[in-house]
Amino acid sequence: MIAKSESRFIRINLITIIATLVVILAGGIVRSTGSGMGCPDWPKCFDQYIPPTSVKQLPPDYETKYVEGRKKKNEKFAKYLESMGKHQLADSIRKDQSILVHEEFNAAKTWTEYVNRLTGAILGILLLLTAIFSFAYKKKAKRIIVLSWLNILVVGYQAWLGSIVVSTNLTQWVVTVHMLLALVILGIAIYTYNYAKQLHKEPTVIMYRIMWLKGFLLFTIVISILQIILGTEVREAVDSIAKSLQYNGRNTWVGKIGSVFSYHRDLAILVGISNFIVYKMVIDRFSGKAWPLITANYLMITLIVQIVSGFLLSYLGLPPYAQAIHILFSTIMFSLQYYLYLLVYRTKTYKTA
Q: Which of 291, 284, 307, 298 is closest to 336 using CA atoms?
A: 298
Q: In whole angstroms, give the CA distance from residue 187 to residue 174.
A: 20
**How confident is the model at residue 340, as a pLDDT?**
95
pLDDT score, position 63: 73
pLDDT at site 333: 95
In single-letter form, the type of residue at position 13 comes to: N
In the chain, where the domains are located? 1-201, 203-353
Q: Which CATH architecture has domain 203-353?
A: Up-down Bundle (1.20)
Q: How many residues does the chain have?
A: 353
Q: 276 exposed, middle or buried (CB, 10 Å; 0-12, 13-18, 19+)? A: middle
- pLDDT, position 169: 57
d(CA 89, CA 71): 16
Helix or strand (DSSP H, E) at 36:
none
Give residues with Cβ within 8 angstroms of 42, minimum separation 6: 117, 162, 163, 166, 167
CB 121, CB 127: distance < 8 Å:
no
pLDDT tens over the chain, length 353 residues: 678 999 999 999 999 999 999 998 988 888 777 777 777 777 788 888 888 888 888 887 777 777 777 777 777 778 877 887 877 777 877 777 666 666 778 888 889 888 988 998 899 999 999 999 999 999 889 999 999 999 999 988 888 777 776 666 556 667 777 778 889 999 999 999 999 998 888 766 665 677 888 899 999 999 999 998 888 888 877 777 877 777 777 778 878 888 888 888 889 999 999 999 999 999 988 887 888 899 999 999 999 999 999 888 888 877 888 888 998 999 999 999 999 999 988 777 666 54
Euclidean distance between CA atoms 81 and 86, whole angstroms: 5
Instruction: Show the DSSP H helices in the chain as ranges.
Output: 4-32, 62-83, 87-95, 107-133, 142-167, 172-198, 211-244, 253-256, 259-285, 291-315, 320-345
